[in-house]
Amino acid sequence: MEKNLAERPSVGGRPAGNASIRKPLACGLILLGAASFLSHNYVSNLVTRPWPSNAPISSEPRCPQASPLVPSRSTKELDDAWEYLNSDAFFNKSIEHLSGAVKIPTQSYDDMGEVGIDPRWDIFHSFAYYLEETFPAVYKTLEVEKVNTHGLLFTWKGTDAALKPTVLMAHQDVVPVPDSTVNQWTHPPFSGHWDGKFVWGRGSSDCKNQLLGILEAIDTLVNAGFQPKRTLVLSFGFDEEISGMQGADNLAKVLIKRYGHGGAAVIVDEGAANLEGWGANWAIPGVGEKGYVDVIVTVRMPGGHSSIPPAHNGIGVAAELVSLIEANPYEPLLHESNPYLSLLYCGAEHAPEFPKTLKHLLKKRAHRTCSKKDQKDELALEAAKAGLDIKYLFTTSQAVDLINGGVKTNALPERTTFTINHRINIGSSVDAVLFHVAQLFTPVAKKHNLTLNAFNNVTETPSSITLTTRPEHLEPAPVTPTGPGTPFSILSGTTRALYGEDLFVAPGVMTGNTDTRYYWGLSEHIFRYSMGWDREQEGLGRIHTVDERIGGKAHRDVSKWVFGFVRNMDEADL
């Protein structure tokens, strides 16, 4: 088998030192949030069943669409509840709820200490109190548990214990607002200002809107006298923005212990939004995520007085390594399991403005067979021309984002370090990335007579380049099944019932990671989807930056979507 084209090292030679890294294979390997979109908009990507290699591209539908799905079991109270969700009265109350939630600055910082020790966690008590005051019927009807103090777990027990539960997720925390940017905001970042069109503030679109929308939908169902057959679980972490190790990790462990491996029917968390591309409208719930690994590079070289410098010192060698990384990016590669490949097939089938060149390459790929010769992925290279936002949906990314070296102007650095952050392509792996870095750096180590200590619990030695990783690395997520009769059909039907049949549903992939990284054992049916849609709003509401905001209609539609999805899942034969 040939080496994975996306992970093929650009410099020859095997890793030196203690490197022990499996060589990646290809003709059968591969993995994003937010995501990026089709030609030049923000998008994610999708996956359906594998395309038969010997069939013409038009022989069968690649992207069959679910019919709009409306709950069949209803009552006058539920019908009235639906009318209420469409009313001005609900809209105004919903905006008020979200505005109040944004006003509570539940910021999570990278250097947060343990819960109960670091006082910066205390603000989450205020947020939990706000939710309880805002949704008393939910707290009275559902069982509410606190996991590791601030994790919130709501359980609405169904009447049929044989049915696996539906799990809806969101997170309470928000990205911090740097003091230096406060004056750049149109409205103060924690004002929750409503201007008649948008709710402004940190967390308005990431993702207190989803959390509040879920609770508003469940509150409406409770007040309408709905009694679920299928147990419903709401799981709200509190440190998603800093990797979820104190929140989602503990919540997931509780749920897996309670329901068992594969014990949930479906999980829906935050993720990609509805967008326009190729002349069509798309819903792109994420069915997978890229992997993640940080490689820490440490250069150890002799110090001394800077007035008599050697030809190369530690910072110089580190700079050479950084330049080498940037000069040798990973190549785009669309593995058969990558959802973006299926998005291309869906675009070719449904979108009126789908590029002819891509359609031609899709036909060519349908007849492609594995070759022993290294080949460029022509389809991936053509698709990547749309820009970096698209390219990184099917390319491993690498970015040097931390560097440190030297302590004094007249002293040569004895130890220089930098970190390379990687987001790993579907079909690739952590090992493939480690092999690539070690093989790339081998000639530099040899050139400067340095020992290369590569991974596997190595320790630093004098005159060396040492490669290690942070412990929280992550393989690309398993890809969620999207075939007929799966929860994907329920999600698709619910979405098209709400937004219309001119919207096509196609599974996506996240370039970042959500709290679902801890829930892989709970269900194979995981979707990352921001279900509220305001066609006048661009992208994902400026998440993680100045002037974050969410359209009022988009926020209201979260509740309407959840109201329908919970009932549809309740009636589903899964």
Neighbours of 365 (CB within 10 A): 20
Q: DSSP letter for 360, please.
A: H
pTM over 0.95: no
Instruction: Report the candidate in 105, 136, 496, 445 with the shortest Cα–Cα distance to residue 299.
Output: 445
Question: What pLDDT sits at residue 388?
Answer: 76
**Token pair belonging to 334:** 């669309």
Q: What is the pLDDT of residue 376?
A: 86
CA 388/CA 325 separation, integer angstroms: 17
| Residue of 86, 19, 12, 161 lying closest to 467 (CA atoms) | 19
State the pLDDT at residue 44: 33
pLDDT at residue number 558: 98
* 534 annotated as a binding-site residue: no
pLDDT value of residue 368: 64
Diameter of the chain by CA atoms? 87
Q: Nearest CA to 269 among 304, 292, 240?
A: 240
- For this structure, is 240 an active site residue? yes
* DSSP codes of every residue in 363-393: HHHHT----SS----HHHHHHGGG-HHHHTT
Q: Which of 427, 401, 435, 436 is nearest to 290 (CA)?
A: 427
What is the predicted pLDDT for the residue at 365? 86
In this prediction, residue 50 carries a pLDDT of 34
Scanning the structure block, which residue is given the tokens 């049915």? Answer: 163
Q: Reply yes or no on domain 5-22+290-469 having CATH 3.30.70.360.
A: yes
**Any idea what DSSP says for residue 230?**
S
CA distances from 271 to 332, 476, 521, 548, 559 (A): 23, 16, 19, 16, 16
Mean pLDDT by 10 residues, the chain (574 residues): 31 33 28 35 33 44 91 96 98 98 97 96 98 98 98 98 98 96 96 96 96 98 98 98 96 98 98 91 94 97 91 95 97 92 90 94 77 73 87 95 93 96 96 97 97 94 96 93 93 97 91 93 97 74 88 96 98 94
Residue 275: helix, strand or coil by DSSP? strand
**483 CB neighbour count, 10 Å cutoff:** 10
On whether the CB atoms of residues 428 and 25 are closer than 8 A, the answer is no
269 is in an annotated binding site: yes
Q: Using CA atoms of 76, 77, 80, 84 in order, give the dihedral in degrees to the nearest 10.
A: -170
Which DSSP category does 478 fall into?
A: P
The amino acid present at 378, given as its one-letter code, is E
Confidence (pLDDT) at 369: 57
Q: How far apart are the first and last CA of the chain?
A: 39
* Of the candidates 296, 295, 312, 293, the residue with the CA atom closest to the CA atom of residue 304: 312
40 labelled ligand-binding = no
Q: Which of the residues 7, 173, 475, 557 is marked catalytic?
A: 173
Cα separation, 425 vs 342, in Å, equals: 15
Q: What burial class does residue 478 get, using C-beta atoms within 10 Å of its C-beta: 0-12 exposed, 13-18 middle, 19+ buried?
A: middle
In this prediction, residue 23 carries a pLDDT of 29
Same fold, 5-22+290-469 and 76-287+477-571: no
557 known member of a binding site:
no
Comparing CA positions, the residue from 466, 306, 473, 332 lying closest to residue 393 is: 332
* Distance, CA of 359 to CA of 364 (rounded, Å): 9
Among candidate residues 240, 249, 349, 548, the one labeled active-site is: 240
Among residues 95, 91, 101, 167, the alpha carbon closest in space to that of 129 is found at 101
Classify each residue of 66-99 as buried b or exposed e, where b means 16 or more C-beta atoms within 10 Å of its C-beta.
bebbebeeeeeebeebbeebeeeebbeebbebbb
Pairing of strands 549-551, 198-200: antiparallel
Q: Nearest-CA neighbor of 465 among 448, 480, 477?
A: 448
Domain ranges of the chain: 5-22+290-469, 76-287+477-571
DSSP string, 22-41: PPP--SS-B-----B-SSSS
Q: Is 326 considered catalytic here?
A: no
Per-residue confidence (pLDDT) for residue 49, from 0 to 100: 34
Q: Which two tokens stand for residue 198?
A: 């948008």
CA-nearest of 216, 214, 204 to 236 is 214
Count Cβ atoms within 10 A of the Cβ of residue 293 and give its class: 0-12 exposed, 13-18 middle, 19 or more buried.
buried
Residue 22: predicted pLDDT: 31
Helix (H, G, I), strand (E, B) or coil at 439: helix
241 is in an annotated binding site: yes
Question: Given this model, what pLDDT does residue 166 score?
Answer: 98
Cis amide linkage into residue 370, ω under 30° from 0:
no
For the domain made up of 76-287+477-571, the CATH class stated in words is alpha beta
